[in-house]
Amino acid sequence: MNLFKALSVVTITLALFSIAKAGNIPGPKPKPAGDLNLWIVTSDSPGYLQEWLNTPSSQGDELKRLDVAKPEQPVVTSFLVTGFTPDQYGNISTSVSFAFLDPNGKVVFNERNYSKVSGKAPKKLSFIMAEPALNIVLEKSDPEGVYTIIGIAEDLVNNKAVRRSYKIQYVKN
């Protein structure tokens, strides 16, 4: 796997014509302060998640996640954090680490403190997307099978952590 392609953190401006399968699930619900949670969301479009975050819940809160990826297709992975605890000044600070595992469970690549959520705490319960998103591109030389993305969010204010994983099927046909 080309590590440069896999860890590209620059904004992707591509016209995508995807034949990948996406699964629809009910949208997640934000958690109150102190109840840290993490959602891993995959898409073939860098703008999809931002669009979902900006859509009023009255228009539906269904979330589409990429379930199947094809060769050379971008798998844009975002980490949504909620339930962060503000400090005495109303600021939040959360770090997200990740690992990407191949179908045999072997770590392909990982990075501690890859993305962050920081700044003033929102006034209402909400999700914040950790920046940057993780962009993965599987190549024809990569083995078919189920890959796993593991994310660990750490609330640096109250020292809580939560671990979540997401599986994505890679097929060459």
Q: Which amino acid makes up residue 73?
A: Q
Q: How far apart are CA 158 and CA 64, in angstroms?
A: 31
| Model pTM score | 0.77
- Angstrom distance (rounded) from CA 74 to CA 136: 6
All structural domains of the chain with their residue ranges: 3-11+19-170
pLDDT of residue 163: 98
Alpha-helix runs per DSSP H in 17-109: 48-54
Residues 74-132: pLDDT tens digits?
899 989 999 999 999 999 999 999 999 999 999 999 999 999 999 999 988 888 889 89
pLDDT in tens, 117-168: 999 999 888 888 898 989 999 999 999 999 999 999 999 999 999 999 999 9
Euclidean distance between CA atoms 44 and 91, whole angstroms: 32
Polymer length in residues for the chain: 173
Quote the CA–CA distance of 154 and 7 in Å, as a whole number. 21
Architecture per CATH, 3-11+19-170: Sandwich (2.60)
